[in-house]
Structure formats: structure tokens, C-alpha cells
Chain A
């Protein structure tokens, strides 16, 4: 009897303290995030009136406009191109570097620091220095290699030049995550393989990759979601007058332009909803596909 009273008392206490503790976070999340999701969707059925004043209900017109808007589909295509280059290449480079750093070598932490450095630099500063490197007249790249390439104003290559900046920026972050994953792989596996005469390359493909696949999966999902939201680099590297802007502007860039430069928040919201749908779909596909290749021990 005594015990039950205690249990009840304990349960009530946990209930009260529990809700007291999560209350600030829950109120904040609801006001700052959950309600805004619905308001953004709601907003996408409206048009901002002239001079940015008033909301006019237009039903699904924003969506029918969106489906026929070649600018939006081009920007989605630009974003996909960016993602397809940035994510796999940065993962591959990071894998190789992480495996090398995982060997018994000196200066490990210095190398790691260098690779991680771009991650903590302001994106505006990164974009400025890369624009300067890419400068077709006075830039380091063209002058050292004696080239004449319009890295960021040639519409056919500009998005890839920007993806290179993206790769350079995130590779260190991936390396850190892979190094953590590599530490979990038991050394015995490699020793056994060596006794069986497996070469380094063989060990890489038959031990490292399968056992690291949960890390690789995690990195590719999170990096892909982040890469789909690319904005800073494009906003900073491309100016409005750049002839390649049409072939480089990303979905989020367009979202920003419509919502805060052209003052059409209704259409901006519609683009944000499209982005949400695209990211949900891609993440869903990845989670489904993981069964095929991710190896959980």
C-alpha cells in the first residue's frame, strides 16, 4: 500500500516536472516552427498585393503558375546538378583522406585542423576569396595554369565551379564523421585480412566500406538535405548581372528573391513548399534504398 502511494506520487511528480522542463522548448517550437509550417502553406494560396500590402486569396494559382514556370524548374535542375556533384565527390574525397588519416601517422591533428578550416569561415568570406581565385582576368587559377576560362560567368560550367567551392567547404566535416566511424571498426578484421593476403585496396572495399556504411549513409542523407538548401554560395558568388545566373540560381535563392527582394511572399512560400516536397521525397528514397547497401552489425 505504502509503495503504491509512493509510486503514484512519483508518477505525478515526474509528470509535473517533465512538462515543466519541456514547456519552454515546446512553446518555442510551436510558435517558431510548427505554426509557421502551416502559415507558409497557407501563404502559398495568397498573392501579395501591390506595394507589398495586403494578402489576396488566389487559391491554387501560385501552384499552377509554379508548374509552368520554367525559371523554377531550371533552378530545381541547377540545385540537383549542384547536389549530384557536391555530395558524392565530397564523400569520396573525405573517405580517402579519412582512411589515410586513420593510419599510424604523425601530425594527424594538424591535417585534420587544415581540412576543417573552411567549415568555420564565414560563407561570405569564402565566396569572396573564391570569386577572386576564379576571376577570369586577374585570378590565380587562370594565370597560374595559363587558362582562359570564365569559371563563374560561363553558363555551362558556372554551377560546377560553385560545386567545387561547396566540396572544398564540407570535406573536412565529412572527414571528422568518417574518422569517428573508422575508430569503431575492430583492428582484428584488418589483421585477419592481412594474414589471408588481402591487399590494402581489397581491405578498403571489403572491410572499410561495408563496415563504414552506416556513417556513409548518415553523411549522405544529412549532406544531401543541406546541399539542396544551397544559398549563401550562390548569393555571394553570383551577382544579378552575371550572365550565368539563370543557370546557377538555386531553389532557395529563388525563394529569397521572390519573398524578400520582389516582395511576393505568396509565390516565395510556394517555392518553399516545393523545396519541402523535394527534400522529403529524396530523403524517403534514401531511407528506402539504405536496406540495399547499408550494413548494420
Chain B
């Protein structure tokens, strides 16, 4: 019996190790290519796997040609704006939907659920026309605009408020708090982990969004990392080290954030179903 268990454990480890290696191949190849010379990447006889020397030229060139500082900044401002708006509006609405009883609540909430079922492309043309009519194309505001409110976030925050015990609220009322004070000082602080989860989702979603930044911000100066990378691919067609270096530079900040907030990431997805 013991040896049979040992045998199964070994198989499990082998399968997991092999499949995680397969998962990592694209990332490994990205890194290896970024440090190679162009001739090394286009040599097939022999095919070069390891760079002969670890060159930094591709990184230098990419950093010279693409204004990564600005791209990071634009992406960061977009993310910050969306997080601020989403957490603020969704926490308020989530509390009202989850804890208060008032006329019109259920109809209003069904509108929130309805929005979640509609594919986003339906909103894109009218949202673009609105931004364009406001004269706000090629601004940070345009990047933030569709994320000013969030149905998903409202749903997430409502779930979180619903999980809190009733006694807290009653105690606050007895102490003479009105609803606003109860929300602000008693209930809202208890949903911090849901707020963190919502912030993470908002950040990842904004960072990965490709179509919207491409539509509203054609200006090079107002591109995000994702949209600038898309444009770059067309220009550098076959300069593989530079393409991979740029991809790597664009991925690193999010990977670091993920390493830091890993627990919140995973818990957030597991409890809410996530929406990436």
C-alpha cells in the first residue's frame, strides 16, 4: 500500500512538473530571444537555443525607440483612474443593494445584472461617439471613460456587504449613527478585501484591454502599453530580439504586482468568479 502511494505521488509530480514546464516555454523563449542577436534568431543550422553571450542591445534599442516611461505612465493613470472610480461607485452602490431596503432597489439591481450579460462590443461605438463629441479623444480621460462605473464591481461589493453580520449595523444605529455614518465608519472598512480584489480585477482588465485604447487614443503619446505593443509589431516585423525585449518590458510590472498580491488575486477570483 505504501509503495503504491509513493508511485502515485511520483506520477503526480511528473505530470505537474512537465505541464508547468510547457506553460513556461513561451516565457522562457521570450527571455532567451530578447538576449540574442538577430543572426542568432534567424540561424536554423544549427538552431540556437541559448544566446552565445547575453546581449543587452535589444533592450537598449527598444528603450531608445519606444518611450516606455510615457507608456507606463499612461497605463498607470488609466488604471488609477478606473480603480478610483470603480471602488468609489461600486462600494456605495454595493452597500445600498446589499444592506438597505428601499423602493426601486430590485429594479435598479436588475439593470446591473442585465449589463453584466451584454457583450461589451455593443457599447463600444456609442461610447466612442460620446468621447469624440466631448472632444476628449487622445486623453487619459478617454482611457478611463468606460470604466467610470462597473456592474461587475457593484455585484462583487454587494456580495461582500451581504456577508457581514446584522448586529454590527444595529449596534451602530443604537449608538446614534445615521446610515451614512454606519456605512462609512462601520461597514465599509470591513469590505477592504473585496475592495482590493475589485482593484486587482480593474487593474488587470485595464492593462489587458487592447481594443478601446486603440480606438480612442491613436496618438503615440497617449497610447497604453498594450496598444503601443500592437503597433510596434507591425513596424519591427522580423526583429525578434527587439520584439521580445519590448514584450518582456511590458509584462514585468504586472508580474511583479501579481507576485505581491497573489493571495488577493486568487481569493478574489475564487470567491467572485472573477472577470478577466
**Residues of A with Cβ closer than 8 Å to B?**
11, 13-15, 17-19, 21-22, 24-26, 28-37, 39-40, 43, 93, 96-97, 100-101, 103, 105, 109, 111-133, 137-138, 140, 143-144, 168, 171-173, 176-177, 179-180, 200, 218, 222, 225, 228-229, 231-232, 235-236, 239, 252, 255-256, 259-260, 265, 268-269, 272-273, 275-276, 279-280, 283
Contacts and interface: CB of A to CB of B under 8 A. Distances in A.
Interface in B195-227: 204, 207-208, 210-211, 214-215, 225-227
Interface of B: 8-9, 12-13, 15-16, 19-20, 23-27, 29-30, 33, 41-44, 47, 88-90, 92-93, 95-97, 100-105, 108, 111-112, 115, 117-130, 145-146, 148-149, 151, 154, 178-180, 183, 204, 207-208, 210-211, 214-215, 225-227, 229-230, 233-234, 240, 243-244, 246-248, 250-251, 254-255, 257-259, 262, 265-266, 269-271, 273-276
A272 B13 contact: no
A15 B103 contact: yes
B23 A17 contact: no
Nearest to A13: B179
B92 A22 contact: yes
A115 to B, nearest CB: 6
B112 to A, nearest CB: 7
A106 B97 CA distance: 42
B22 to A, nearest CB: 8
Contacts of A280: 117
A235 B41 CA distance: 24
A40 B250 CA distance: 34
B179 A14 contact: yes
A276 B115 CA distance: 12
Contacts of A34: 111, 115
B208 A275 contact: no
Nearest to B96: A21
Contact of A252 (B121, B149, B234): B121
B229 A122 contact: yes
B123 A33 contact: yes
B104 A36 contact: no
Contacts of B254: 120-122
Nearest to B153: A25
A115 B23 contact: yes
A125 to B, nearest CB: 4
Nearest to A37: B122
A252 to B, nearest CB: 6
A112 B123 CA distance: 35
A255 B121 contact: yes
A195 B22 CA distance: 37
A19 B108 CA distance: 10
Contacts of B211: 231-232, 235, 256
Given A14-B100, A28-B149, A172-B23, 12 more contacts: A11-B101, A14-B101, A24-B89, A32-B123, A43-B125, A115-B23, A121-B255, A122-B226, A124-B230, A128-B243, A236-B230, A275-B119
Given A36-B123, A229-B121, A132 B243 contact: yes
Nearest to B233: A128
Taking each of B26, B33, B105, B243, which has the highest tally of chain A beta carbons within 10 Å of its own beta carbon?
B26
A173 B269 contact: yes
Given A25-B92, A132-B33, A33 B12 contact: no
B242 to A, nearest CB: 11
B89 A40 contact: no
Chain B CB count within 10 A is highest, among A109, A127, A138, A236, for: A138
A177 B270 contact: yes
Contacts of A129: 26-27, 29-30, 244, 247
Given A101-B16, A218-B273, A229-B119, A138 B225 contact: no
Contact of A97 (B19, B273, B275): B19
B90 A112 contact: no
A231 B210 contact: yes
Contacts of B208: 122-123, 232
Contacts of B145: 32
A18 B105 contact: yes
A33 B118 contact: yes
Contact of A177 (B26, B115, B118, B269): B269
Contacts of A11: 101-102
Contact of B23 (A30, A114, A143, A179): A114
A124 B204 CA distance: 14
Given A21-B92, A100-B16, A105-B16, A276 B118 contact: yes
A22 to B, nearest CB: 5
